Homo-oligomer: A and B are copies of this chain.
Amino acid sequence: MTTITTSETIRNGVDTAQLFATLDAVKAQPELGRFQFRATNTWIDGAHNQATIRDFYGAGGEDTSRVQEWVLDAGEPAILCGADTGPNPAEYLLAALSACLTTSLVYVAAARGVELTEVHSTVEGDMDVRGALGLSDEVRNGFERIRVHFTVTGDAPEEKLREVVARAQRRSAVFDMVTNGVPVSVEAATA
């Protein structure tokens, strides 16, 4: 009889037994895969606003596991007329992208038996702010391009690590959204 201990199923901090069980469950009942994530945002003053994140819907019901909400302060640096109360919104997007590619990479490596030792990335976005400032219709409002550079080390040959990076990119939710775009509807109550 073989007893599988926790240390045997956990790789890169991911419980691969739970990961494979999750995949099987969603394969068997595709409706469990329907999620809705949410944020609320309250304006404080000037460029300072606060997003809060906690509840979401997934796996057939409202999540109740989170014991706290997260508060994310946003701002703008002085040169963009803010008081530097937090990262600016475009920087939050870069953080979202780096986080998603990293998590995808770590999960893919765990599933494929690759033990990682380091995953580090730098992300840069180039923006001509004449777009967002309303000074030019010839430049876009957002980043013209984004560059991500990863450093990845682990117990696999270089070719396998590159495969993991490529697969993570093909499966990252935020990479998909940032490269392909998402339909966004905006409604306002101005009572």
Residues of A within 8 A of B (CB): 12-15, 18-19, 22-23, 26-27, 30, 33-49, 51, 53, 56, 58-59, 63, 65-66, 70, 72, 74, 76-82, 84, 86-107, 116, 118-136, 139-153, 158, 161-162, 165, 169, 171-191
A86 to B152: give the CA distance in the assembly, Å: 22
What copy number does this chain have within its complex? 2
On chain B, the residues within 8 Å of A46 by CB distance are: 12-14, 106
Give the interface SS of chain A, mostly helix, strand, loop or mixed: mixed
Interface centre among A40, A139, A152 (most CB of B within 10 A): A40
Contact A100 B95 (CB under 8 A): no
Closest beta carbon of chain B to A103's beta carbon, Å = 5
Interface centre among A41, A158, A178 (most CB of B within 10 A): A41
